Amino acid sequence: MGDTDHAKTGIVITGLVKNFGEFRAVDDLSFRAEGGRVFGLLGPNGAGKSTAIGCISGLTKPTSGMITVNDHDIVREPRAAKRRLGVVPQELAIYPDLPARDNLRYWGAAFGLRGEELGQRVDDVLETIGLVDRAGDLPRTFSGGMQRRLNFGCGIVHEPTVILLDEPTVGVDPQSRERLYELVTEQRDQGACILYTTHYMEEAERLCDEIAIMDHGRMIAHGSLAELRQTAGEHDHLTLTGHFPVEEVRPVIDAISEPHRLLEVLLAEPNQLVIAAHEASTRLPAIFRALEGAGARVSETTLRRPNLETLFIKLTGKELRA
């Protein structure tokens, strides 16, 4: 796994800014990801996660700020930094018409592996990703999950100390997703620093030791899962769909919330209403009565315990997957 002291530092990002013309894709992003931990970078599509990954992997030159990988500046020492990086891109960046074993050999050689070491690592990775018996087959004949595993294997064949995983489970069936989770935790347990971007909150809650939430290029929340849950508060989130006269709804909910502010309208739109409520299940009858009085018509109700999704709604006033 390389030099342990360096590996512990993982990724350090300080004041990262990336502009595309007038558009600021990443705005003053700073965080530190340690070895042996999974750092989650969450946010909706267009939040700036992939641009940040591009900057960290050296594919996109930052407008300003600094990125180090195991203490090596990605701009000033790109070779040293890249040698320690394993990138697992969102797309299947493998050769579908090249046998799985040859894919691994090619990507291993691209990161400097040679001879016996290369052969041994290829065998190890085939074992790790569970493709030993399909090593000689073409990936185009694989299932989507197997292709994802090979894509992952190509990113770790050179034993990187820092692994960038850019939405690795997009379009993957539940069974293959479980296998990918196992692969990620295996790498973390071996000491790798893993930066994991996703817009699946449940994935982040399950895998990540530390999480940063991005929106519009900025980091809007950062901390461990426990810390973020605390930020989200103890309130349940009640999501109602139907027809809501927005101007009338807020006052009636505020009225039944007093005096202890037990209810709070997080999002009020003509077809959706999101309310943060302490012990929401006990207050449902009162809420429905108030809404009925305001002329609202409810067609569906969802009650969620506090989680990252509810935190995101609380922080941004919108759904994460919107």
Partner 1 sequence: MTFLLLGVAKDISRWLRDPVSFVIYLLVPLLVGGLLTAVTGQGPTPTGTLLVADEDRSMVSRLLVAALFDADLGDTLRVEKSDEAGGRELMNTGDASALLILPDGFGEAFLRQEPTALVLVTNPSEAIMPRIIREGVEIVVDAGFYFQALLGDETRAIYDAVTGDTSDDVDDSAAAEGFSADITAKVTRAAPRLLPPALTVELVEEVDSEEPVPLALLMFPGIIMMAMVLTAQGLSADLWSEAEAGTVRRIAAAPQGFVTSVAGKAIAAGVLTAGVSLVIAALGFVYYGLEPWLLLPVAGWLLICAPALYLAFSLIQLAAPDRRAGAIVSSIIMFPLLMAGGSFFPLEQLPEWIAAIGRFTPNGFMLEQLSGIVTTGRAGAIAGQIWVAMALAGLGLFVLASFATHRRFAHA
Per CB under 8 A, residues contacting partner 1 are: 50-51, 53-55, 57-60, 78-80, 82-83, 85, 87, 89, 91-98, 102, 105-107, 109-112, 114-115, 118, 138, 154
With respect to partner 1, which residue has the nearer C-beta, 109 or 298?
A: 109
Q: What share of the chain is helix, strand, coil (3-state, %, to 5)?
A: 40, 30, 30
Q: Measured from the CB of residue 54, what is the shortest distance to partner 1 in angstroms?
A: 3
Shortest separation between residue 171's beta carbon and partner 1, angstroms: 14
Q: Tell me the closest approach of the beta carbon of residue 23 to partner 1, in angstroms.
A: 15
Q: At what angle do helices 100-110 and 115-128 cross, to 10 degrees?
A: 130
Query: Mind giving me the DSSP string for 106-139?
Result: HHHHHTT--HHHHHHHHHHHHHHTT-GGGTTS-G
| CA dist., res. 117 & res. 134, Å (int) | 21
Q: Quick one: 105 or 179, whose CB is closer to partner 1? A: 105
Work out how close the CB of 126 gets to partner 1 at its nearest, in angstroms, rounded to a whole number: 17
Q: 177 is written with which tokens? A: 């997703």
The side-by-side arrangement of strands in the sheet containing 85-88 is: 85-88, 162-166, 193-198, 38-42, 210-215, 218-224
Specify the residue, 51 or 169, whose C-beta has the smaller distance to partner 1: 51
Of the pair 145, 306, the CB lying nearest partner 1 is at: 145
Residue 3 CB, shortest distance to partner 1, in Å, is 16
For partner 1, which is the closer residue by CB, 65 or 242? Answer: 65
Amino acid at 76: R
Q: Which is nearer to partner 1, 115 or 174 (CB)?
A: 115
Residue 187 CB, nearest distance to partner 1 (Å)?
Answer: 17
Nearer to partner 1, 194 or 228 (CB): 194
Which one, 18 or 314, has the nearer CB to partner 1? Answer: 18
CB of 241 to partner 1, least distance (A): 37
Q: What is the rounded CA–CA span in Å between residue 47 and residue 316? A: 12
Q: How far is the CB of 68 from partner 1 (least distance, A)?
A: 16
CA–CA dist 40, 86 (Å, integer): 16
Instruction: Tell me how far apart the terminal alpha carbons of the chain are, to the nearest angstrom.
Output: 39
Contact 245, 296 (CB under 8 A): yes
Give least dist CB 276 to partner 1, A. Answer: 37
**Distance of alpha carbon 248 from the chain centroid:** 37
Strands (E), 10-94: 11-20, 23-33, 38-42, 64-69, 72-73, 85-88
Task: Tell me if 122 sits within 8 A of 157, measured CB to CB.
Answer: yes
Cα 291 off chain centre by: 36
3-state secondary structure (DSSP) of residue 238: strand
In the complex with partner 1, the residue whose CB is nearer, 104 or 204, is 104
Backbone φ/ψ region at 223: left (φ over 0), alpha (ψ -120 to 50), beta = left
Burial group, residue 316, by CB count within 10 angstroms (0-12, 13-18, 19+)? buried
